[in-house]
Amino acid sequence: MKSIWIESVKRPAFKQLKGDATTDVLIIGGGIAGILCAYKLKQAGVDCMLLEADQICSGVTQNTTAKITLQHGLIYHKMIGRFGREKACRYLHAQKIAMEQYRTMCGTIPCDYEEKDAYVYSLDDSNIVRQEVAALNSIGCAADFVANLPLPISVAGAVRVEGQAQFHPLKFIYALAKDLPIYEHTKVLELSPKEVITNHGKIRPKKIIVATHFPLLNKHGSYFIKLYQHRSYVIALENGPNVEGMYVDENHKGMSFRNYRGKLLLGGGGHRTGKQGGGWQELESFARRNYPEARILGRWATQDCMTLDSIPYIGRYSASTPNLFVATGFNKWGMTSSMVAAMLLADLVQDKPNDYAEVFSPSRSILRPQLAANVAESLIGLLTPTTPRCPHLGCALKYNPQEHSWDCGCHGSRFTETGELIDNPATDDKARMPQPPK
């Protein structure tokens, strides 16, 4: 089964790049972040082109739950503690601007845009919820504590923020994409700051934006230790209840709820890529117990890049690459983060100042507790004496029986049973695969 977004809209097609080309700004990656970057640059009159190795929105974007919200878990009280109130305020303000951009743009694009209240709940810690409510109110976002939710779970409390939104992501993105300089089935084989070699020719850009979900260049930026990837699962239920809002557990492994055209979208079963988790089985079991009249209409999975400090990496790829830029690490909140990335990078590639550049800078400190966990997982993957190995950096691949794939626990690359690449940062297929374990 595929996501309900894919099955309810016709995908546009774009030609391949043929031969060599030049451009002021080259965007690599045709998900929502890359397409919004191209849209903003075209609006500004900047010469640009976008390359997609497959078809646009064929990766993570088509599998989102499409919540447009400034609530990115219970992060603001932690952000104030780590970075101070000013930085938390700027992060929040960037999300507010992104939401307003969606509100304006969706007013002219039929994409099932609906404003809803958003809730982040905790199953067992009301104190952390109250801290988040206080933090949000202190930096200019009206939030309140809610003790009970219209869900079949018992919660310790939830943070409610009114006036958030949800939409049909592909209806929105396809409408934007139709007039943009996009080339599909054009794979980047080699990347340097001055020249990009594709399977159809060479491109000489003045500047490059890498929007490939997980950055594809290992030489700069240390993204292979600054990021890890997390898988989560979704089922669409017919005859499920209308929950009248958007709900998400503050725990990455917890559950999310939202409706779309009479269907209930139930998310959860998450785990670090390459590890074991509840998957669709956990969601289907929950649905049978709590929504016995419901029928599963679709199921899909997605993969998210997680940063060391819950803030995306948006800006210069590294301090030593002034004309190379990146947007990654959206921490499960790709809708507003992609819009923030497009606004920020459109300024940076034009050498314009941006008030939010420091907040999202990829060159900020990496001295966070998650760094040790990422390094440990990489060492385990490298030292595990099994085959097959990931062509990215040589870590062991583990078989994922739910999705019939081989997954890398180090950096999140995934392959089919026959070795075709599904998810980056690997850039090549795996030529030989053993028989899947029984």
| Residue 55 confidence (pLDDT) above 70 | yes
pLDDT over threshold 90, residue 218: no
With beta carbons less than 8 A apart as the criterion, state whether 414 and 408 touch. yes
- Mean per-residue pLDDT, 150-167: 98
Q: Determine which helix (DSSP H) or strand (DSSP E) holds 146, and give its type and residue range.
A: strand 144-146
pLDDT band, very low/low/confident/very high, at 217 (cuts 50, 70, 90): confident
- Opening angle at CA 167, ends 164 and 170, nearest 5: 145
Tally the C-alpha atoms within 13 A of residue 372's C-alpha that lie toward its C-beta. Answer: 3
CA distance linking residue 256 with residue 269, whole number of Å: 10
The predicted pLDDT at position 434 comes to: 82
Question: What is the share, in percent, of the chain residues with pLDDT greater than 70?
Answer: 100
> 320-324, 408-412, 426-430: lowest mean pLDDT where?
426-430
Q: What is the dihedral of CA 277, 76, 151, 123, to 10 degrees?
A: 60
CA distance 146 to 149: 7
Find tokens 């870590």 and name the residue.
Answer: 395
Count the alpha carbons within 13 Å of 249 in the hemisphere toward its beta carbon: 19
Q: Lowest-confidence range among 16-25, 135-144, 310-319, 414-423?
A: 414-423
Helix (H) or strand (E) holding 26: strand 21-28
| Residue 1, pLDDT score | 64
pTM over 0.85: yes
Residue 323 neighbours by CB distance under 10 Å = 14
Q: How far apart are CA 277 and CA 19, in angstroms?
A: 45
CB 29 within 8 A of CB 210: yes
Q: Does residue 418 have a pLDDT over 70?
A: yes
Confidence at 355, pLDDT banded by 50, 70, 90: very high
Q: At 431, which amino acid appears?
A: A
- Give the integer Cα–Cα distance in Å for 392 and 284: 34
pLDDT in tens, 222-279: 999 999 999 999 999 999 999 999 999 999 899 999 999 999 999 999 999 988 889 9
**What pLDDT was estimated at residue 46?**
98
Read off the pLDDT band of 127 (50, 70, 90).
very high
Q: What domains does the chain contain, in order, with CATH numbers? A: 4-64+171-224+309-360 (3.50.50.60), 75-82+113-164+226-302 (3.30.9.10), 369-423 (2.102.10.10)
Please state, in angstroms and as integers, the Cα–Cα distance from residue 433 to each residue in 42, 406, 430, following that order: 43, 9, 7
Q: What is the pLDDT of residue 192?
A: 83
The mean pLDDT value of the chain amounts to: 94
pLDDT of 371 strictly over 70: yes
Instruction: Report yes or no: 173 and 335 within 8 Å, Cβ to Cβ.
Output: no
Which tops the pLDDT comparison, 143 or 384? 143
pLDDT confidence of residue 320: 92
What pLDDT score does 385 carry?
Answer: 83
pLDDT at 289 over 80: yes
